[in-house]
């Protein structure tokens, strides 16, 4: 058969696409070629194999004898048969054949990819196909793998935001991957482009840098660097450029491979990380790290020129307070506002840093040096810049800043230690106040002491080391003890007695004031309940609330629970808050005070006048008592401005129907002046220091009071003060006025006269004009400011008309009398002065009584209005209930008759009216007149028992029930018919 094929191929005409006719190969040679060929050759005629060479037998796995005559499609995968038929059809139509791949089926059923190429021939005189067959399975798999890898590379480049470039350095051409085009934002363009054209994607100022690196690259040595690329949309990316140069496959040309990776986001993140590492995210200010770097740099610079500088640690407590009461957002808002304000105060040569919360630090200009005066002045300027309040939402927050100062190199030679010294100095300032403090070794000791106190204080409650002392509060109307202030004391097992001024700030700064404050409330309420059970006169125990306690959202509920738990009367409890506590979240503070007031607790405003007093806000708060701070009471007998403040507070509080209590009253002079100016209550060492509960109990049992001489002027002698620098004049005047029964006090100068006024209640003053050190007019002006209720007269032989006239016009002088004097006329003038004084005292007394009566009447009216409102509400409720009950009774299917306490029928339901219709209208009639005899008898028995009653020829059961509660009195008659029981 092979010889036949060979001869056929040799003798095939050109039209049959046979081999060249001029070939000189013999049929034998053709046969050998076909037999030895490593490609399968077969002839298909009429759809069947007519010839196969050994390679076909090898490829298909069928014996030659089996293949010959077999259908050619039997070795083709069914899905590829249509494709084979289409190629045969085209060849039969004269179209030149082309190679194509199909899946072939071996004898064992396995598949391989065969590449076939057919050509039309004439075989044994008839048309046939001469076909070559090659196994290209491995080639196909390799191609598919290469295509898959190419796709994966493109996807990887896309995911990694990278691209690759192949560079032919010899030809100066470059080929970009699809990832590279995507990176550039360009459409993929197959083929190569010149290196010069590719440089258009490199910024002009970076091209020389890039080319220099490539020119200097060593063969086979990878390199990398970063640069920017220009995208099609004009944006720029930062890429990591990795490359390598090597010899090409031809051994001569130089080729390079580049991988470009987009690291723009990474670079931005690194920049952001760097920013976060050095700057505060909230305020944008340098943070602790950058601050310490700059302090360290300043220290290194100072070492070269023997320089000095200062570091400030600042803390604004209101940031944490706002955060706790109004939330973190409000705290952040306040911190940003403070940062902006401090930035405006910061000079260009200074560094302002935010260390978190309300803590800031400022590295001052080294040119300022470390002089205490210059640094203090700079710190004071910063405090002045924070004086105005900040608005957080609708709340006005007043700021208090404490400043600690440390200097280089005096306090520390390192940045971290210098900052710690400044912070230690700041902690040494008074809590909550705007203060400045320089670092001292003692401040470091104070910091250690503070940590020791904190540790011990955490154990104090559990160890029962805390106790309460009580300082009495006295009513100036009758001198009785009407209240006490509960003051916590601490006797530590390890440290001994610790002053409240030392451990209270620590408790407030650490939050321990919350459990301590609750312990104080519970102990004070328990003590008040104990005194009440002992039958002692009722006193109100006042407890100081800390800012953190007032900020608790449930403080009123917790306090009410303590009152119930201890059995204390709310009327025996008072709470004290400070002005500064009302400046942080005033709305919450006002709401809390109203809740406490609703419980029945008295509200006192402590330390009034020391902060930012907002009278408009004060008027809306449920304040009962205003406490004048002890700082105004201390110098009240000598400082006119303190007297003015005290008098203003008294007038303001009384106009708002509040009482006034003065703290820190220690001398008789202070007490007299406060009484003269109409103060309501006092508290201080003049009456009693803080004492244990047992001492208060003893005072109550003894009914201890202020001496009578301080209370009622009518019961004491009228007092005359004589002031003259000449002893003989004083003696003459004393003898003159002694006969009138006055209590006479003398002084020989204006200063001595002021001292006498502080010691004694004086009614009338007679003073000389010309005295050394202070003239009579000056003395009397001062007396008017301090003791306005006194009657003041000048007795002088020297007339200084202008000063006397001015003093009279100002009201400082009541009368001017001349020396020598007429005894009787002078006595008459002084007697008239006392009458004027008595009249003024009486008017003031009456005014106080009227004011007190008005206050009491207003309180009674308020209570009465509340009572009437509750009664109206109760009446409305009862009427509603009665209407509902009437409706129910009206529709009950049983006859019911209601009779009031006077025997009058007040209610008849529908069934009862029908049953008793022969009696006519029943409501408003006397039951004895209209009810049948049987029902009257049941009504009179009123025993709650059922009785048989005959009505209209039928038996009924009737029961009478009495009603005797708060809202209804009378009897209810219920009648039930007995079915099928007619009277025979």
16: CATH: 3.30.450.20
Nearest by Cα to 37 from 130, 100, 108, 128: 130
The pLDDT-based confidence of 964 (bands split at 50, 70, 90) is: low
Average pLDDT over residues 630-645: 65
**Domain total for the chain?**
6
Whether residue 430 has pLDDT greater than 60: no
The pLDDT-based confidence of 70 (bands split at 50, 70, 90) is: very high
pLDDT in tens, 777-805: 888 888 888 888 889 888 877 666 555 66
Is residue 610 a part of any domain in this protein? yes
Tell whether 693 and 573 lie within a shared domain: yes
Tell whether 315 and 431 lie within a shared domain: yes
Whether residue 927 has pLDDT greater than 80: yes
Is residue 311 a part of any domain in this protein? yes
In terms of C-beta density within 10 A (0-12 exposed, 13-18 middle, 19 or more buried), how is residue 547 classed? buried
Q: Which residue has the higher pLDDT, 921 or 157?
A: 921
Q: Among 439, 465, 491, identify where a domain stops.
A: 439
Which residues neighbour 951 within 8 Å (Cβ) at sequence distance 6 or greater?
Answer: 915, 916, 932, 934, 935, 975
Would you give the distance in Å from CA 815 to the centre of its chain? Answer: 64
pLDDT of 846: 77
pLDDT of 714: 39
Whether residue 291 has pLDDT greater than 90: yes
Looking at 366-427, which runs of residues are DSSP E strands?
390-392, 395-397, 401-408
Is residue 129 a part of any domain in this protein? yes
pLDDT of 17: 40
Average pLDDT, the chain: 83
pLDDT of 810: 60
pLDDT of 434: 54
Q: Which residue has the higher pLDDT, 847 or 230?
A: 230
Which residues neighbour 794 within 8 Å (Cβ) at sequence distance 6 or greater?
Answer: 767, 768, 769, 776, 777, 780, 804, 807, 813, 815, 816, 817
Residue 504, CB-side half-sphere exposure with 13 Å CA sphere: 16
pLDDT of 828: 84
Q: Among 412, 439, 466, identify where a domain stops.
A: 439
Bridge partner list, 223? 243
597-601, 645-649, 708-712, 773-777: lowest mean pLDDT where?
708-712
Whether residue 902 has pLDDT greater than 80: yes
Tell whether 213 and 238 lie within a shared domain: yes
Which residues neighbour 533 within 8 Å (Cβ) at sequence distance 6 or greater?
Answer: none
Average pLDDT over residues 850-867: 70
The pTM is what?
A: 0.46
CA distances from 527 to 485, 531, 561, 698 (A): 12, 6, 16, 14
Distance, CA of 863 to CA of 343 (rounded, Å): 55
Tell whether 705 and 718 lie within a shared domain: no
pLDDT of 739: 81
Whether residue 481 has pLDDT greater than 90: yes
- CATH number for the domain spanning 526: value is 3.20.20.450
Tell whether 479 and 628 lie within a shared domain: yes
pLDDT in tens, 712-763: 543 457 899 999 988 998 898 888 888 888 889 999 998 899 888 887 888 9
Whether residue 471 has pLDDT greater than 90: yes
Whether residue 18 has pLDDT greater than 60: no
pLDDT in tens, 106-159: 999 999 999 999 988 888 888 888 999 998 888 888 887 777 777 776 676 666
The pLDDT-based confidence of 5 (bands split at 50, 70, 90) is: low
Whether residue 863 has pLDDT greater than 80: no
Average pLDDT over residues 663-671: 87
Answer for the pair 575, 543: CB distance below 8 angstroms, yes or no.
Answer: yes
Nearest by Cα to 331 from 313, 360, 358: 358
pLDDT of 982: 56
Give the neighbor-by-neighbor strand order of the sheet with 764-767.
743-747, 719-723, 764-767, 791-796, 815-818
Is the backbone of residue 29 left (phi > 0), alpha (psi -120 to 50) or beta? alpha
CA distances from 372 to 310, 316, 369, 407 (A): 10, 22, 9, 9
Nearest by Cα to 610 from 581, 568, 588: 581
Nearest by Cα to 814 from 758, 883, 767, 881: 767
Tell whether 348 and 362 lie within a shared domain: yes
Average pLDDT over residues 232-242: 91
Whether residue 12 has pLDDT greater than 50: no
Is residue 858 a part of any domain in this protein? no
Tell whether 827 and 900 lie within a shared domain: no
pLDDT in tens, 294-308: 999 999 988 888 889
H helix intervals, 160-189? 178-184
Whether residue 491 has pLDDT greater than 60: yes
To which H or E segment does residue 875 belong? helix 823-891
Tell whether 392 and 357 lie within a shared domain: yes
Q: Which residue has the higher pLDDT, 318 or 448?
A: 318
Distance, CA of 135 to CA of 38 (rounded, Å): 10
Average pLDDT over residues 485-494: 92
Tell whether 691 and 740 lie within a shared domain: no
pLDDT of 931: 87
CA distances from 154 to 182, 184, 238, 642 (A): 10, 14, 20, 87
What percentage of the chain reaches a pLDDT higher than 90? 29
Average pLDDT over residues 884-898: 83
Is residue 866 a part of any domain in this protein? no
Mean pLDDT is highest, among 277-281, 600-604, 864-868, for: 600-604
Bridge partner list, 448? none
pLDDT in tens, 170-211: 888 998 888 888 888 888 777 788 888 889 999 999 999 998
The pLDDT-based confidence of 24 (bands split at 50, 70, 90) is: low
Is residue 684 a part of any domain in this protein? yes
Q: Among 268, 293, 311, identify where a domain stops.
A: 268
Q: Which residue has the higher pLDDT, 334 or 441?
A: 334
Q: Which residue has the higher pLDDT, 434 or 669?
A: 669
Is residue 865 a part of any domain in this protein? no
CA distances from 462 to 251, 456, 459 (A): 90, 11, 6
Which residues neighbour 756 within 8 Å (Cβ) at sequence distance 6 or greater?
Answer: 721, 745, 746, 747, 762
Is residue 612 a part of any domain in this protein? yes
Tell whether 518 and 560 lie within a shared domain: yes
pLDDT in tens, 276-286: 788 988 999 99
Distance, CA of 975 to CA of 915 (rounded, Å): 9
Tell whether 504 and 394 lie within a shared domain: no
Q: Which residue has the higher pLDDT, 269 or 520?
A: 520
Whether residue 314 has pLDDT greater than 70: yes
Q: Which residue has the higher pLDDT, 451 or 174?
A: 174
pLDDT of 505: 85
54-58, 595-599, 669-673: lowest mean pLDDT where?
669-673
Tell whether 549 and 646 lie within a shared domain: yes
Whether residue 21 has pLDDT greater than 50: no
**Structural domain boundaries, residue 191:** 141-268
- CATH number for the domain spanning 414: value is 3.30.70.270
């Amino acid at each position: 058969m092979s010889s036949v094929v060979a001869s056929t191929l040799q003798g095939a005409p050109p039209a049959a696409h046979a081999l060249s006719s001029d070939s000189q190969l013999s049929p034998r040679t053709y046969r050998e070629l076909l037999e030895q060929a490593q490609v399968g050759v077969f002839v298909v005629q009429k759809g069947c194999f007519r010839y196969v060479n050994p390679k076909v037998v090898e490829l298909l796995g069928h014996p030659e004898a089996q293949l010959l005559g077999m259908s050619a499609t039997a070795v083709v995968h069914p899905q590829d048969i249509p494709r084979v038929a289409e190629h045969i059809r085209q060849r039969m139509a004269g179209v030149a054949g082309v190679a194509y791949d199909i899946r072939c089926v071996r004898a064992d059923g396995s598949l391989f990819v065969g590449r076939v190429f057919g050509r039309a021939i004439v075989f044994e005189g008839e048309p046939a196909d001469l076909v070559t067959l090659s196994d290209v399975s491995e080639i196909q798999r390799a191609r598919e793998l290469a295509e898959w890898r190419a796709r994966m590379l493109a996807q990887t480049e896309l995911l990694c935001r990278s691209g690759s470039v192949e560079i032919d350095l010899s030809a100066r051409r470059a080929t970009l991957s699809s990832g590279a085009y995507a990176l550039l934002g360009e459409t993929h363009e197959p083929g190569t482009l010149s290196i010069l054209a590719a440089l258009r994607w490199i910024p002009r100022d970076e091209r020389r840098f890039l080319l220099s690196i490539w020119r200097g690259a060593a063969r086979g040595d990878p390199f990398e660097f970063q640069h920017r690329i220009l995208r099609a949309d004009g944006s720029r990316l930062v890429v990591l450029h990795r490359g390598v140069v090597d010899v090409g496959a031809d051994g001569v040309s130089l080729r390079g491979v580049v991988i470009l990776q987009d690291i723009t986001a990474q670079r931005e993140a690194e920049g952001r990380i760097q920013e976060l590492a050095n700057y505060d995210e909230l305020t944008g200010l340098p943070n602790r790290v950058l601050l310490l770097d700059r302090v360290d740099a300043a220290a290194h610079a100072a070492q070269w020129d023997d320089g000095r500088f200062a570091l400030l640690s600042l803390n604004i407590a209101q940031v944490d307070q706002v955060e706790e009461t109004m939330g973190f957002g409000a705290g952040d808002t306040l911190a940003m506002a403070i940062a902006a304000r401090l930035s405006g105060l910061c000079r260009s040569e200074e560094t302002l840093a935010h260390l978190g919360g309300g803590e800031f630090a400022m590295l001052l200009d080294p040119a300022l040096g470390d002089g205490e005066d210059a640094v203090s002045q700079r710190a004071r300027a910063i405090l002045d810049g924070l004086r105005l309040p900040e608005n957080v939402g609708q709340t006005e927050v007043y700021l208090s800043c404490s400043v600690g100062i440390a200097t280089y190199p005096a306090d520390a030679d390192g940045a971290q230690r210098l900052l710690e010294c400044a912070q230690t100095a700041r902690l040494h300032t008074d809590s909550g106040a705007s203060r400045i403090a320089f670092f001292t070794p003692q401040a470091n000791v104070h910091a250690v002491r503070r940590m020791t106190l904190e540790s011990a204080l955490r154990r104090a409650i559990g160890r029962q080391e805390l106790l309460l002392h009580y300082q009495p509060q006295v009513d100036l109307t009758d001198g009785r003890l009407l209240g006490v202030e509960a003051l916590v004391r601490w006797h530590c097992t390890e440290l001994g007695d610790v002053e409240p001024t030392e451990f209270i700030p620590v408790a407030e700064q650490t939050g321990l004031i919350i459990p301590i404050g609750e312990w104080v409330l519970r102990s004070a309420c328990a003590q008040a309940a104990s005194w009440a059970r002992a039958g002692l006169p009722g006193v109100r125990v006042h407890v100081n609330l800390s800012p953190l306690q007032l900020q608790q959202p449930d403080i009123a509920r917790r306090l009410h629970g303590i009152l119930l738990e201890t059995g204390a009367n709310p009327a025996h409890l008072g709470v004290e808050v400070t002005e500064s506590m009302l400046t942080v979240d005033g709305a919450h503070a006002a709401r809390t005070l109203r809740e406490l007031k609703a419980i029945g607790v008295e509200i006192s405003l402590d330390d009034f006048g020391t902060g930012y007093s907002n009278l408009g806000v004060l008027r809306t708060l449920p304040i009962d008592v205003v406490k004048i701070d002890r700082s105004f009471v201390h110098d009240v007998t000598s400082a006119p401005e303190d007297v003015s403040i005290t008098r203003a507070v008294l007038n303001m509080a009384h106009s708002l129907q509040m009482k006034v209590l003065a703290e820190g009253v220690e001398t008789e002079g202070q007490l007299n002046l406060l009484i003269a100016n109409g103060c309501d209550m006092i508290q201080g060492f003049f009456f009693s220091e803080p004492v244990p509960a047992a001492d208060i109990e003893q005072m109550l049992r003894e009914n201890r009071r202020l001496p009578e001489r301080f209370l009622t002027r009518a019961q004491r002698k009228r007092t005359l003060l004589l002031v003259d620098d000449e002893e003989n004049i004083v003696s003459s005047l004393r003898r003159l006025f002694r006969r009138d029964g006055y209590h006479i006090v003398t002084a020989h100068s204006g200063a001595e006269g002021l001292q006498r006024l502080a010691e004694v209640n004086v009614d009338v003053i007679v003073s000389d004009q010309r005295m050394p050190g202070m003239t009579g007019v000056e003395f009397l002006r001062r007396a008017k400011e301090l003791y306005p209720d006194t009657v003041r007269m000048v007795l002088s032989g020297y007339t200084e008309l202008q000063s006397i006239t001015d003093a009279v016009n100002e009201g400082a002088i009541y009368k001017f009398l001349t020396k020598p004097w007429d005894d009787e006329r002078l006595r008459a003038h002084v007697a008239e002065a006392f009458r004027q004084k008595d009249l003024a005292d009486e008017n003031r007394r009456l005014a106080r009584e009227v004011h007190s009566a008005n206050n009491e009447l207003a309180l009674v009216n308020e209570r009465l209005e509340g009572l009437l409102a509750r009664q109206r509400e109760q009446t409305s409720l009862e009427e509603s209930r009665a209407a509902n009950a009437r409706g129910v009774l009206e529709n009950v299917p049983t006859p019911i008759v209601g009779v009031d306490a006077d025997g009058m029928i007040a209610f008849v339901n529908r069934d009862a009216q029908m049953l008793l219709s022969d009696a006519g209208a029943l409501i408003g009639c006397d039951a004895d007149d209209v009810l049948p005899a049987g029902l009257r008898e049941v009504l009179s028995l009123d025993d709650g028992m059922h009785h048989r009653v005959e009505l209209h020829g039928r038996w009924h059961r009737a029961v009478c029930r009495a009603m005797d509660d708060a809202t209804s009195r009378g009897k209810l008659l219920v009648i039930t018919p007995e079915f099928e029981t007619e009277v025979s």
